[in-house]
Structure 1
Amino acid sequence: METLNKANIIRHDADTRGVANFGWLFSKHTFSFGRYYNPERVHFGALRVLNDDIVQGGMGFGTHPHDNMEIVSIPLTGDLEHKDSTGNTEVIKSGDVQIMSAGYGLTHSEYNHSKSDLVNFLQIWVLPKKRDIEPRYQQITFDPADRKNKLQTVVAPDDDKALWINQDAWFTLTDLDKDATIDYKLHNAENGVYAFIIDGGVTIGTESLKKRDALGISNVESLSITANQDSQVLLIEVPMIEVGF
């Protein structure tokens, strides 16, 4: 597998993320979002937003619009209630993954389904391949056993077992036991992969990463991940497109 010697590597440690605290919402922003702006942290290729949101019981995001963005939600703990203008009303639980193609435009809301328990979820935005498509919604419950020391594809443009995305992008989850090693081969060598450590700690190349640290890697065909402790990792492979804002 690749040693990463010639790779382009961007490291984002957990404690360098932007912070938003509104009382009902506590969020860590990997990339510039809302009131947080860092010109060096705007995107990684087509990956535009990775927010780590904690929402108080009964609270949430009121109805608001989106367009031309692929929006993926991954609940880590708790339940998230979703409603949108295409008629979908769903509850997303831990183990579920949701995608919404905003396309030419829609509105939606997201609330903590519980009145008392916190919900923690990852909100991820990817720039679309085609603009102004018809808005769409999809949700799948994935079996955690299918990612135990192996790779589980949850979002892809070419896999009918995964959520479809309007981009040449792949989201992959893995739950690794301590000392386990797993190899990831990119679907397109011109893409980059963003490794986000949901829990635990891993080593990728010479980089040791802990919970909520991340590593963006491009100019590689594959990489190896070794768990330093029981760990969960999200890999987001995206085209390394230039973005103007």
Structure 2
Amino acid sequence: MSQLQQVENVKIRKAEARGHANYGWLDTHHTFSFAYYFDPEYMGFRSLRVINEDTVTPGDGFGTHGHRDMEIITYVLDGALEHKDTIGEGGVLYRGDIQHITAGTGIMHSEYNHSKSENVHFLQIWIQPNSKGLKPTYNQHSFEVEKNSGKLNLVVAKDGRNSAIKVNQDVDLFASVLKDGDSIDYAFENNRYGWIQVARGEVDIEVDNNDKFSLKAGDGVALSEIKKVSISTTSNGEILLFDLA
């Protein structure tokens, strides 16, 4: 039986159905097939290839490893994540920071928990680029998502508009922190697709003023041929909304 609930053009991926591994230093959940977790039903959605929810213990992390031909986005939920790479970039990401890497022709990097006492909790997202062999680049930007609660904050965009980080794919990514009673709407243009990932708390989603769904942290939902989505909460929530070609 499929673990992806389907109602017309809405497919819900429940948190508990994700791939999961715990290596002691790393507790990780995979929305789509990744590493040792493979399920042909869950290879990605449109250009969205990976959503991993990672928690790394103090002082531990991913040693130097390589990537090619992938757009990699890191969204920190709690703690501090330290990055170093072979193109001379490095820094520490905190809550509200977003990192973007164009792996392109190849990049080596490491990611470690910067803290010696607290876990770091983050989402790592991979998006397939619109072309291969791009020059490797690195971007890091702080967005005041919590201060702008109750709104959709554009953090990554195909054209880099409105101070968003530019990505090499036809995708816009919005982040939103919702407090009790908040409600936001988003309209999709024709031939666009959506993915909503719940990062914290619980949210209620209504599509095209019809079907309603309740989602919790770790849940994701794929939206196909949907014109409008409304997102609200009575239990504080945080979401990422992808608008995909």
Aligned-partner Cα distance in 2 for 1:122–1:61: 14
Q: CA deviation at 1:147?
A: 3.0
Pairing 1:204–2:224 present: no
Per-residue CA deviations over 1:116-174 (Å, capped at 9, x if unaligned) read 21101100000001211111100001113553111100000221411110001111011
Alignment of 1:223-234 (within 5 A): 223-234=229-240
Partner of 1:174: 176
Where structure 1 has 5 or more consecutive residues not aligned to the other structure, the ranges are 1-5, 240-245
Aligned-partner Cα distance in 1 for 2:47–2:147: 27
SS of residue in 1 equivalent to 2:59:
coil
Q: How many residues align?
A: 233
TM-score by structure 2 length? 0.91
Partner of 2:186: 184
Partner of 1:144: 145
Partner of 2:244: 238
Q: CA deviation at 1:177?
A: 2.0
Over aligned residues, Cα RMSD in angstroms?
1.4
In structure 2, relative to structure 1, the CA distance for the partners of 1:194 and 1:88 (3 Å cut) is: same
Which runs of 4 or more aligned residues in structure 1 lie more than 2 Å from their structure 2 counterparts after TM superposition?
144-147
Return 24-33 or 214-223, whichever deviates more: 214-223
Partner of 2:13: 12
Aligned-partner Cα distance in 1 for 2:196–2:8: 14
Per chain length, whose mean CA-contact separation is higher, i.e. which structure has more relative contact order (CA < 8 Å, sep 6+)? Answer: 1
Aligned-partner Cα distance in 2 for 1:221–1:86: 41
Partner of 2:221: 215
SS of residue in 2 equivalent to 1:147:
coil
Pairing 1:164–2:166 present: yes
Partner of 1:3: none
Alignment of 1:116-127 (within 5 A): 116-127=117-128
Aligned-partner Cα distance in 2 for 1:54–1:145: 21
TM-score by structure 1 length? 0.91
Partner of 2:73: 72
Please tell me the residue identity of whatever aligns with 2:176. T
In structure 2, relative to structure 1, the CA distance for the partners of 1:129 and 1:7 (3 Å cut) is: farther
| Overall identity of the aligned pairs, in % | 41
Per-residue CA deviations over 1:15-65 (Å, capped at 9, x if unaligned) read 111101111111000000011111111101111000000011111111111
Return 207-216 or 88-97, whichever deviates more: 207-216
Return 116-125 or 189-198, whichever deviates more: 189-198
Q: CA deviation at 1:10?
A: 1.3
